[in-house]
Amino acid sequence: MSIEARKIRLVMHLRKSGITDTRVLSAIERVPREAFLPEHFLHRAYEDSALPIGHGQTISQPLVVAKMTQELELGPTHRVLEVGTGSGYQAAVLSCLVARIWTIERHKPLLKVAKERFQALAIDNITARAGDGSLGWPGQDNFDRMILTAAAGEDPPPELLKQLALGGIMMAPLTITDENGVRGQKLVKLRKTRNGLEREEMWPVKFVPLVPGEAQAEEVPSL
């Protein structure tokens, strides 16, 4: 099966799975997921599965990418902060839908490769840097939207909430304890209002943890 056929099959699967925003579906179709994977995983680019990219990190499952993107309620003038660049795939999808994206990655080698991918694909509305994602982007604030691709504990970091604009939306995997005392991750949609945060727990997910601290410069291990 050709790459185009696999891509069409994936988009149809996303549609059947509840992705109704045609702009999101179009972005998934436009962004070549194979460009964000190690070479030996290219044949799996359009499977609906997460895949390893090194450093214990993964490129997210396409359905999760599409759901998080849809729930952000994106507009063409929005300014978006992403915490956890990873392969760069999520940022590339967002780049089709908004004015500008700022993205932070803790692992410098992963960031270097992601920036090379953005350049190769002529994506010019993404600004990327290495740093501690829990601190947000010092010098920038009033982000319309935020997306965390790493689990931030029971609550999002306070510095990120400070940088979220009034009326802004954050999508974040958080640790939730259910009525039986069982802890697990759920994707949570947070909306910043004048009266505080509106919080909506959505669906179970499994993300790597958000680790505060200095950006890491170790070599990317082979997979």
Give the active site residues: 60
Lookup: tokens for 138? 């010092």
90-120 burial, b at 16+ Cβ within 10 Å, e below that, comes to bbbbbbbbbebbbbbbbbbbbbebbbebbee
Q: What is the DSSP string of the chain?
A: --HHHHHHHHHHHHHHTT---HHHHHHHHHS-GGGGS-GGGGGGTTSSS-EEEETTEEEPPHHHHHHHHHHT---TT-EEEEE--TTSHHHHHHHTTSSEEEEEESBHHHHHHHHHHHHHTT--SEEEEES-GGG--TT---EEEEEESSB-TTS--HHHHHHEEEEEEEEEEEEEE-TTS-EEEEEEEEEEETTEEEEEEEEE---PBP--SSPB-PPPPP-
CB atoms under 10 Å from CB of 184, counted, come to: 11
